[in-house]
Amino acid sequence: MAPSKVLAGARVVLPTGTVDGGRVIVEGERITGGLTADTPALDLTGHWLVPGFVDMHNHGGGGASFTNGSVDDILRGVRTHRQHGTTTVVASTVTGEMDTLAHRAGLLSELAEQGEIAGVHFEGPFIEPCRKGAHSEALLRHPDPAEVRKLIDAARGQARMVTLATELPGGIDSVRLLVEHGVIAAIGHTDATYEQTVEAIDAGATVATHLFNAMPPLGHRSPGPIAALLEDPRVTVELINDGTHLHPASLQLAFHHAGPERVAFITDAMDAAGFGDGSYRLGPLEVEVKDGVARLVEGGSIAGSTLTLDRAFQRAVTVDGLSVEAAVQAISANPARLLGLAGSVGSLEPGKYADLVVLDADFALKGVMRRGEWIVEPELG
């Protein structure tokens, strides 16, 4: 077992609130309430200590794609995001041929069984063509429950979420199927009306995939899916807080109506996250990244993001005016709860994995620990 670690002096964000000059004790992989005698403490005075980030919607990073890459590529992408504080990541796929997606699900499920990722999220192919975003229209299809079941089975118990346009034929039945199998049904890339969205929520859908993006805008006569998703306490809304996907007023609107307990920050990251500008592919589509913004070469649609969650956190508290506690809830506790992982990650509590992030007074990342081992060891002046 690794030697005990004591982290002391930081402002520690706990589920019950923030403790100034707090202390977190790590034994092996986990946080503990006990203290080993004579264990030296790492002095984190002037810093924040928050739970490791949990990203439930992520397509890749570090130049690697979770949809197209090899095992080594996928691990490179996972490790890139770990260096930015994401200690738990769900690997998201994009629209492809059904057999290709099923094969990819099998590969990703092995990495989930090894603890490298926290499961698989299928974004597409069951989405609305007119709201397809960066998905190949030629490969889209209606959400036939039999085909949805094929993907679930291929993931061997590691399917965590499926994004679908629930207004399409088979959509509501597919939502019910997902609920029966313990998989999150997420409404996204949708052209649904308000009434159709309410029907899907009543059938068991509990997540809005990147709220505001790839869905009709809020209308005063036709409120569409946004109003239904924001008003229902059963729904958690994903937000991409990169300054490109959302205007700050839209983020504030979501927090005002849903509250911090119903928001999950995600990256929706593609290969370029943590890597740089250049030419990439998202599934079969060509993407150009310029000044950190990813767009399809053909048509110019935004193609995921280059966001990492440390940047999303810093922006939330320094630009958007959120409290640190609200940002922690949205970036750690809420996604952990949705994924069924709240017993092991998402907050700093005895018995849970020692997944944590050290931030300086300006909320810049200074250290990352995952399962008791430093991924980024703090260099404190």
Q: Is 303 annotated as a binding residue?
A: yes
Catalytic annotation present for 232: no
213 marked as binding residue: yes
Q: How far is CA 97 from CA 3, 129, 134, 137, 140, in A?
A: 48, 15, 15, 12, 9
| Cα separation, 7 vs 49, whole angstroms | 9
Q: For residue 33, give the amino acid letter.
A: G
Q: Is 214 annotated as a binding residue?
A: yes
Q: Is 343 annotated as a binding residue?
A: no
Q: Is 10 labeled as ligand-binding?
A: no
Q: Is 185 annotated as a binding residue?
A: no
Distance CA 90, CA 309 (A): 13
> Alpha-carbon distance 310 to 58, whole Å?
14
| 11 and 48 Cβ atoms separated by less than 8 Å | yes
Which of 191, 232, 268, 310 does the annotation list as catalytic?
268
Question: Does the annotation flag 134 for ligand binding?
Answer: yes
- What are the C-alpha distances in Å from 302 to residues 124, 137, 202, 214, 330? 16, 15, 31, 10, 23
Tokens for 32, please give them: 């503990």
* 331 phi/psi in degrees, rounded to 5: -105, -10
**Structure tokens, 125:** 């192919």
Q: Known binding site for Zn(2+): residues?
A: 123, 189, 210
Q: Known binding site: residues?
A: 123, 134, 189, 210, 213-214, 221, 245, 302-304
Return the active site residues. Answer: 268
Q: Known binding site for substrate: residues?
A: 134, 213-214, 221, 245, 302-304
